[in-house]
Amino acid sequence: MSTAATHFRQTDPYKLGHGHGGGYSHRYATGHGEGGPASKRVVVGYGFWIFLLSDIIMFSAFFAAYAVLSREFAGGPTGRELFDLRGTALQTAVLLASSFTCGMATLAVEQRNQKWTQIALLITGLLGATFLLLEVREFTELVERGAGPTRSAFLSSFFALVGCHGIHVTVGLLWLGTMMAQFLAKGFRENIRHRYLCFSLFWHTLDIIWVALFSLVYLVGSLQ
């Protein structure tokens, strides 16, 4: 083997160009992959991170649309006239609290504690539902005041952006329900813990997006 290796080193076409060339021992391997495929947990979490990044890019397209259209009132109401900062601050608090309880649930899952997992997830879900309820109330009030999404391009982009987040929360709630059921029915099996990892990443991401939304849309909008 060693003679073959030596011989091969001489014919290695890459020895000139490559700092790591001149040999093929995997000692010289650069970057990852040296040790073979990563563990399932890493792969699942990594993949879901990539998905979340793409989701954030989708939101940024809606943010961009809002930025472009945020002054196209078409004679209709402006953000300053419409936004109720107290209501949205409450929404923010509720969603941040749900992120906290979601974190608690993660701890409980790591402890394999069924009772606290269920309780923490239930509170998370209730807080999420409260958030949605507040949002629905805000939307219906706006529509009743004649400030629905069809009124102006500004309102279209506002409803689309906030509504897109709302749809994400709704999907999150559905997912959360199945997560609770899965823990109950299947216990803390490995693949279910992987799914939960993804869920918690998803839920925290929604929080981050909401923070951006709250500051860029509501805060800035009510200052204008």
What does the binding site for other proteins look like in residue numbers (CB under 8 A)? 1, 3-4, 7-8, 11-14, 16-18, 20, 24-26, 29-38, 42-43, 46-47, 50-51, 53-55, 57-59, 61-62, 64-65, 68-69, 72-74, 76, 149-154, 156-157, 159-160, 164, 174, 178, 182, 185-186, 191, 195
**Of the two residues 53 and 211, which places its CB atom closer to other proteins in the complex?**
53
Closest CA to 125 of 87, 163, 181: 181
Report the residue number, 3 or 146, with the smaller CB distance to other proteins: 3
190: Cα within 13 Å, side-chain hemisphere: 5
Q: Are 71 and 175 in contact (CB under 8 A)?
A: no
CB nearer other proteins, residue 37 or residue 115:
37
Please state, in angstroms and as integers, the Cα–Cα distance from residue 113 to each residue in 65, 92, 183, following that order.
Answer: 44, 29, 10
How far is it, in rounded angstroms, from Cα 182 to Cα 176? Answer: 10
- Least distance in angstroms from the C-beta of 130 to other proteins: 23
Nearer Cβ to other proteins (196/210):
196
